[in-house]
Amino acid sequence: MKFLNQSMLVISVCSVIYNSPVIAQESALNGMTNSIDNNRIDDNQEIKGKKVLQQSGGADDSDDNNINNDEPRLIIVGNAIGELGLKDPSSTASRLGLSAMETPATIEMIDKAVMRARGYEKLSDAVESLPGVVTGEHPTAPSTFSMRGFSRGQITVLRDGLWIGPSTMVMRPQNIFNLERIEILRGPSSVINGVGAVAGTVNAITKTASAYQQENIDLMASYGRYNSYHVGVGIQQDLGENAWFNINISDYGSDGYVERTDQTSTNLTASALWKVSDDFSVKFSADYLEDDVGGYFGTPLVPTNLAREPLNHVVSTQQNETIDKAMRFKNYNVLDGVAESDQNFWRLDLQWHLNNDVTINNHLYQFNADRYWKNAEGYVYCTEVVGVCTDVGKIQRYYGYFLLDHEQDLLGNRTTLNWNQQFNQIENRLVAGIEVIDLSFDRLRGYRRQVPVVGSDSVDPYNPQPGLYGPEEVRGNSPTEIEMQAFFIEDVVKFNEQFSLVMAARYDEMDLDRKNYNAQGELENNGFTRQYTWESWRLGMVYQMNDELSFYGQYSDAKDPINSNIFLVNANQNFDLTKARQWEVGVKSIWFDGKAETTLAYYDIERDDIFERFSLDSVTNIGGRTSNGFELSLTMHANERWRLGANAAYTQAEFKASSNFVELAGNTPPNVAEWTANTWLSFHNIGDLPIEIGTSLHYVGDRYGDNPNTVKLKSYWLADLFAAWQFDKYRVSARIDNLLDEEFIQWSDVFYLHQTDPGFIYANQLMLGAPRTYRLMFEVSI
């Protein structure tokens, strides 16, 4: 790999290091039902003689799990309804240590205590609780998101603040137990987080070693319906006066709510911190994940007049199709279907304080992954004898046999310099950095073309005999090499206590080489080599009327290549840079004597050159996309026992025409709901006992399941119920999800809908969401 000479010339004035009030609590579990606001403290306040550090975590330059923590740290906990964290810094939104209140953007944070108190098991469980977010769990792209009118590869997913590849390629169902928190930054953010961040960034921040951490052992075990289980062990200890370690291992498994869809996930995260001196620290981290996401690829659509129990309240189509309830829990995949992954993420972090105002950070990291799919993925209900449909009333799978093998290796390095200074009443903070990435990606795929059609390729809709995958017909292999270099700079000028200007700019270079080999290993002529250069920037203003009320405005510009679909395009297709711009205004406030927090934002985004997959091995430029809407979030401690949380979002999105593609113009993009909402209500200390009970509601409005807008996914409400009992270091909780056993479709993959052309009868199916589930959880902190 070629590395740039990492040298930086920085000419600026900067500000003093910023410290934010925090949320803290002495015990890892005690007081999970207490008001977090009551535990907010001033920067210099001490608890039992130990100064409390900022609440933040993870792996970037500005968070409190960073390796410069040289003071005692208290464990942060909360109950099922968390704060909005307006006084907390976010490394996902800025590397300047700005709090959410000081940042001209919408930022959301969910910490580990809230996630565990709500009973979340996967990252997607937590993210879908946020305003305007729709999530999907399709096996070909686990933990996929729709946000602000965009979806899939247009939302960047980071691991501890670092980009490890296109989100649709690298995202897996992350175990919550290993996470410190999740941060979400809305809107185009490639200026901060690199390629693909058009609609936003989701940053999964793992637990990590920190200086002077409390020695602690956490144990967790849960069991629920469908033989689902989740166990975890976490240990944080010191290794002497100047070294500490943190290790967490979790294991998840379930039989699945559809037959033969066993799911497993094992995640090990470990880190060791060595404080070499007062000014220099070293941290080494390892992250291993092995999983199998199960083999449920959807339930076929059938003609409404032929369905035994039509679920017309779930879906409607212009072709008069529906989902048959009698097929709801049937699996049409083969018996030996596989959708598994094995990945490792290593990193070495160095931090050097040159003086009180200048800090250098360096992050060297490597990510490698092997992913493998081999399934009968596509199913079509045959309504006539045509093509490979030889039996009316059967489910045909012939073209649905598909295998895919990913081999990914990534090596990267990021170096940043933070420089803070103050001139009279003006504070200025600046960070500048260089990032280099070398990505190697092999994509081998295969599907039916030459293997003869046999009787077992079609199955009975109500009694499918799965059979085996059979002959593996390989189409070819497409190795892709990407070398990326970026220089970025971010600066905030605080003119006075009220007004500040926040600016950022980034310059990127990418060298891309794509080759295509056929099944015989011969080089085809549709590969390509491209070089890209682009700039992105952001300009924002913040006006703080006081410590509890902030107004902001922002304009951001973003350009990047077409992201994950770069592995599907060929030389004869237009795959130049895409462009996006957004403006956003909003208000953030803390009120009701600090017992309530509110955020309100309005945004407008426009992007050109959107690519969609229209066949197994190619994509098409379908024009641009526009989106606007508002998002509202609220948390409140009504009194000492009652707590309330709520959010809502309105999104209006549509395709716009390109010069060579107009047929989708004016349509609503799939998986974009006009309205979404969430509410939580909890009551604790019932009868002066350490018991908390609560409920939550999750609403997703009507969406379209395809680009032509011929398939409508109907709106749904999900109600959940939870209760917890806590005594000393122990916590026992119970949870019922989808209490009313609502039938619903959570997500649609457009390539698996209406692919029924007689020459390619591939797929016409949708995935139904989980029915009522329940589980019991036990936790202890030693």
Q: What is the mean pLDDT of the chain?
A: 85
DSSP 3-state assignment of 424? coil
pLDDT digits (tens, 9 = 90+) for 384-416: 999 999 999 999 999 999 999 999 999 999 999
Task: Give the CATH number, domain containing residue 451.
Answer: 2.40.170.20
763 and 614 part of one domain: yes
CB 267 within 8 A of CB 178: yes
For residue 569, tell me if it sits in a domain. yes
Q: Tell me, what's the pLDDT at 620?
A: 59
Q: Tell me, what's the pLDDT at 614?
A: 52
pLDDT digits (tens, 9 = 90+) for 22-31: 223 333 333 3
Q: Tell me, what's the pLDDT at 78?
A: 43
Other CB atoms within a 10 A radius of the CB of residue 239 amount to 12
461 and 544 part of one domain: yes
Is pLDDT above 70 for 658?
Answer: no
For residue 12, tell me if it sits in a domain. no
One-letter amino acid at 640 equals E
- Mark which of 154, 182, 206 sits at the end of a domain: 206
Identify which of 148, 190, 146, 100 has the alpha carbon closest to the alpha carbon of residue 604. Answer: 148
Separation CA 553–CA 499 (nearest Å): 12
First to last CA, the chain: 46
Exposure b/e, 106-138, CB count within 10 A at least 16 = b: bbbbbbbbbbbbbbbbbbbbbbbbbbbbbbbbb
Residues 741/743/747/753 CA torsion (nearest 10 deg): 160
Compare 140 and 649 and report the one with higher pLDDT.
649
Separation CA 483–CA 15 (nearest Å): 34
**Type and span of the H or E element at 116:** helix 112-118
One-letter amino acid at 146 equals S
Q: Which domain holds residue 189?
A: 25-206
Q: Where are the beta strands (DSSP E) in 354-394?
A: 358-376, 380-381
Residues 6+ apart with CB under 8 A from 100: 84, 85, 86, 87, 88, 89, 90, 93, 107, 109, 588
167 and 284 part of one domain: no
Q: Strand pairing of 596-607 and 216-224?
A: unpaired
Alpha carbon of residue 94 to chain centroid: 18
Other CB atoms within a 10 A radius of the CB of residue 46 amount to 11
CB 54 within 8 A of CB 69: no
Is pLDDT above 60 for 42?
Answer: no
Separation CA 130–CA 680 (nearest Å): 12
Q: Strand pairing of 338-353 and 150-151?
A: unpaired
CA angle, 486 then 492 then 495, to 5°: 160
325 and 179 part of one domain: no
CB 670 within 8 A of CB 748: yes
315 and 195 part of one domain: no
Q: Please, which pLDDT band fits residue 573 given cuts at 50, 70 and 90?
A: low
Q: Which bin fits 148, alpha (ψ -120 to 50), beta or left (φ > 0)?
A: left
Looking at the chain, the whole-number percentage of residues with pLDDT higher than 70 is 85
pLDDT digits (tens, 9 = 90+) for 152-187: 878 888 999 999 988 778 888 888 999 999 999 988
316 and 198 part of one domain: no
Is pLDDT above 70 for 464?
Answer: yes
Is pLDDT above 60 for 146?
Answer: yes
Radius of gyration for the alpha carbons in the chain, expressed in angstroms and rounded: 26
Residue tagged 């939550």 (tokens): 696
Q: Tell me, what's the pLDDT at 151?
A: 86
Identify which of 423, 441, 444, 434 has the alpha carbon closest to the alpha carbon of residue 514. Answer: 441
- Mark which of 206, 239, 258 sits at the end of a domain: 206
Q: Which bin fits 424, alpha (ψ -120 to 50), beta or left (φ > 0)?
A: left
Total-model pTM: 0.87
For residue 13, tell me if it sits in a domain. no
544 and 507 part of one domain: yes
Separation CA 481–CA 483 (nearest Å): 7
172 and 233 part of one domain: no
171 and 272 part of one domain: no
CB 517 within 8 A of CB 524: yes
For residue 211, tell me if it sits in a domain. no
Residues 6+ apart with CB under 8 A from 308: 324, 325, 326, 462
For residue 6, tell me if it sits in a domain. no
pLDDT digits (tens, 9 = 90+) for 704-755: 999 899 999 999 999 999 999 988 889 999 999 999 999 999 999 988 999 9
505 and 630 part of one domain: yes
Q: Please, which pLDDT band fits residue 57 given cuts at 50, 70 and 90?
A: very low
186 and 248 part of one domain: no
Count of domains observed in the chain: 2
Q: Please, which pLDDT band fits residue 72 given cuts at 50, 70 and 90?
A: very low
Is pLDDT above 90 for 83?
Answer: no
- Mark which of 177, 206, 235 sits at the end of a domain: 206
Count Cβ atoms within 10 A of the Cβ of residue 757 and give its class: 0-12 exposed, 13-18 middle, 19 or more buried: exposed
Count Cβ atoms within 10 A of the Cβ of residue 523 and give its class: 0-12 exposed, 13-18 middle, 19 or more buried: exposed
pLDDT digits (tens, 9 = 90+) for 677-712: 999 999 988 888 889 999 999 999 999 999 899 999
Q: Tell me, what's the pLDDT at 409?
A: 96
Separation CA 624–CA 661 (nearest Å): 10
Is pLDDT above 60 for 21?
Answer: no
Is pLDDT above 60 for 449?
Answer: yes
For residue 18, tell me if it sits in a domain. no
Q: Tell me, what's the pLDDT at 70?
A: 40
One-letter amino acid at 661 equals F
Q: Give me 636's structure tokens.
A: 């409140």
Q: Tell me, what's the pLDDT at 62?
A: 39
Task: Give the CATH number, domain containing residue 80.
Answer: 2.170.130.10
CB 247 within 8 A of CB 234: yes
For residue 17, tell me if it sits in a domain. no
Q: Tell me, what's the pLDDT at 67?
A: 41
Q: Please, which pLDDT band fits residue 18 given cuts at 50, 70 and 90?
A: very low
CB 403 within 8 A of CB 446: yes
Q: Tell me, what's the pLDDT at 165?
A: 85
Q: Tell me, what's the pLDDT at 742?
A: 97
Q: Give me 88's structure tokens.
A: 């907390």
Separation CA 158–CA 165 (nearest Å): 9
Is pLDDT above 70 for 32?
Answer: no
CB 490 within 8 A of CB 95: yes
For residue 528, tell me if it sits in a domain. yes
Is pLDDT above 50 for 325?
Answer: yes
Is pLDDT above 60 for 50?
Answer: no
Is pLDDT above 60 for 381?
Answer: yes
92 and 186 part of one domain: yes
Contacts 24+ apart (CB under 8 A), 629-632: 629/132, 629/148, 629/149, 629/602, 629/603, 629/653, 630/600, 630/601, 630/602, 630/603, 631/106, 631/131, 631/132, 631/186, 631/599, 631/600, 631/601, 631/603, 632/131, 632/598, 632/599, 632/600
